[in-house]
Amino acid sequence: MLDKLHEECGVFGIAAAPHSAIDPAYETFTGLFSLQHRGQESCGIAVNDAGVISCRKALGLLLDVFDERSLRAMKGNAAIGHVRYSTTGNPNVENAQPIVVTHNKGNLAIAHNGNLVNAGELRHEIEMKGGIFHSSNDTEIIAYIIVQERLAAESIEEAFLRAMRRIRGAYSLLLMSPRKLIAARDPNGFRPLSLGRLDKHYIFASETCAIDAVGGVFLRDIEPGEIVVVENDRLRSIDSGLRAEKSFCSFEFIYFARPDSVIEGIGVEWARREMGRYLARESGVEADIVIGVPDSGISAAQGYAQESGIPYGVGLIKNRYIGRTFIQPSQDRRERAVRLKLNPLAANIKGKRVVMIDDSIVRGTTSARIVSALREAGAREIHMRISSPPFLHPCYFGTDVPDSDALIAHNHTVNETARIIGADSLAYLSLAALSDVLEKSGNCPVCDACFSGNYPIDPPAAAEKSIFDRRIHFE
């Protein structure tokens, strides 16, 4: 419905201490529930019951797939889970995760957030040797390579270390073998992955909000290139030795992550508010009210209001009960669908000069509809301010920033874009301000390739791009 970007996945895992009464499947369900914003297309949980790994996964939200009875049936001493949003191909259950494979030394479950940039060549290499795949996602390729490496490796962690030397790209992942729970992050650290503790039990989660949700304590982020192994209630860290410049996805701070999460030592809500402050300094305008597009535009709008002295107010009300399956077959219905999801609060904006803050513009279609709705509700002027730099390039690291052709900022100047969406003025946050907020204030070196075109690692070769090209989804 809204031409917003989508994060592909969230992961959660827990290893119960021996002889404990904890229910790993239930804790994983709870953790995943707070990561549902990272993927709403499919979900799954795999449990390890004394070395036997079983898995339940399906298309749909967690509440569609799991209930009290199904969770109660999933007994075990460890679990990993996954929520997924797919950006290529049709959503199907084969692509749902965790993926569970059986090999000659046991079995293995894997849940992955990210995208490999060399998945095409790895898959081709494996297929040319007779390998077969059940899905079209790159997680199965990682599983295949780990299993290949396990033949010669002494342990599953050594097999994964060897696999890390072959895979390139973004991966924050969890592996569960009959005796171990393993978490790992790619050498660039594109995607978040946190370590926490719930009483005596270790937990891993894409975001700290999931650790909070289960009542756990955040310990630290998994380091880029680090492998962490939990075995017999003991935790070991392995340095893969693979070095790269840290390139955490800046868009996690702008939009993807939940505001109550803390990533790389930076509170997401704080970062968004700071972006709003910078935006006010860089692109101030005379106005009567600052409003934010819910949800991720709200913190930046509050920061903009604090910095500019223009009062903050609620200008758009979001309907939180529209599911992804809501289908809009015609243009007219799509128009109405935006109004169904975001409705202007006329009492607050009628006759006023409005600064509207949103986190990003992808194609511009939703922005145009919101601006039009605000005008109908009586706004006198609408000045759009975006708390990120303009999207100019596709992403290959686990989000669906589409081909440049589909990006309005790639094809139009800022003034042209303002005219297209019907705003009186438009301004974006500068790259320098983004880097100030995250790298200087927060000391977090980031990837900003979708804004700058400076890819931290080479994107897939041209011939393979079609495999990874991102398509925008209209929920």
Decide whether 62 or 170 has the Cβ nearer to ligand SF4. Answer: 170
Of 447, 457, 468, 473, which lies in the binding site for ligand SF4, with binding defined by CB under 6 A? Answer: 447
Determine, following the binding rule CB under 6 A, whether residue 249 of this chain makes contact with ligand SF4: yes
**Residue 34 makes contact with ligand SF4 by CB under 6 A:** no
Answer for which of 299, 399, 417, 435 binds ligand SF4 (CB under 6 A) is 399
Choice between 153 and 431, CB closer to ligand SF4? 431
CB of 76 to ligand SF4, least distance (A): 33
**H/E/C letters for each residue in the chain?**
CCCCCCECEEEEEEECCCCCCCCHHHHHHHHHHCCHHHCCCEEEEEEEECCEEEEEEEECCHHHHCCHHHHHCCCCCEEEEEEECCCCCCCCHHHCCCEEEEECCEEEEEEEECCECCHHHHHHHHHHCCCCCCCCCHHHHHHHHHHHHHCCCCCHHHHHHHHHCCCCECCEEEEECCCEEEEEECCCCCCCCEEEEECCEEEEECCHHHHHHCCCEEEEECCCCEEEEEECCEEEEEECCCCCCCCEEHHHHHHHCCCCCEECCEEHHHHHHHHHHHHHHHCCCCCCEEEECCCHHHHHHHHHHHHHCCCECCCEEECCCCCCCCCCCCHHHHHHHHHHHEEECHHHHCCCEEEEEECCCCCCHHHHHHHHHHHHCCCCEEEEEECCCCCCCCCCCCECCCCHHHCHHHHCCHHHHHHHHCCCEEEECCHHHHHHHHHHHCCCCEECHHHHCCCCCCCCCHHHHHHHCCCCCCC
Pairwise CA distance, residues 475 & 324, whole Å: 5
Q: Does 449 bind ligand SF4 (CB under 6 A)?
A: yes
Judged by CB under 6 A, does residue 207 bind ligand SF4?
no
Binding residue (CB under 6 A) for ligand SF4 from 175, 395, 407, 434 = 395
Binding segment (CB under 6 A) for ligand SF4, from list 209-217, 246-254, 341-349, 350-358: 246-254
Options 133-141, 247-255, 296-304, 413-421: segment touching ligand SF4 (CB under 6 A): 247-255
Using CB under 6 A, pick the residue from 157, 448, 464, 475 that binds ligand SF4.
448
Interface segment toward ligand SF4; rule CB under 6 A; list 179-187, 248-256, 357-365, 463-471: 248-256
**Residue 190 within binding range of ligand SF4, rule CB under 6 A:** yes
Q: List the one residue from 195, 386, 401, 407 that touches ligand SF4 (CB under 6 A).
A: 401
Stretch that binds ligand SF4, among 116-124, 130-138, 362-370, 393-401 (CB under 6 A): 393-401
Interface stretch with ligand SF4, choices 37-45, 217-225, 286-294, 397-405 (CB under 6 A): 397-405
Interaction of residue 85 with ligand SF4, rule CB under 6 A: no
250 binds ligand SF4 (CB under 6 A): yes
Distance, CA of 100 to CA of 134 (rounded, Å): 11
CB of 238 to ligand SF4, least distance (A): 25
Q: Is 66 in the site for ligand SF4 (CB under 6 A)?
A: no
Residue 164 found at the interface with ligand SF4 (CB under 6 A): no
**9 in catalytic set:** yes
Question: How many residues interact with ligand SF4 (rule CB under 6 A)?
Answer: 12
Q: Which is nearer to ligand SF4, 39 or 76 (CB)?
A: 39
CA gap 398, 113 in Å, rounded:
7
| Interface with ligand SF4, residue 379, by CB under 6 A | no
CB of 352 to ligand SF4, least distance (A): 34
Q: How far is the CB of 395 from ligand SF4 (least distance, A)?
A: 3
Could you give the residue numbers annotated as active site?
Answer: 9
Contact set with ligand SF4 (CB under 6 A): 190, 249-251, 395, 397, 399, 401, 447-450
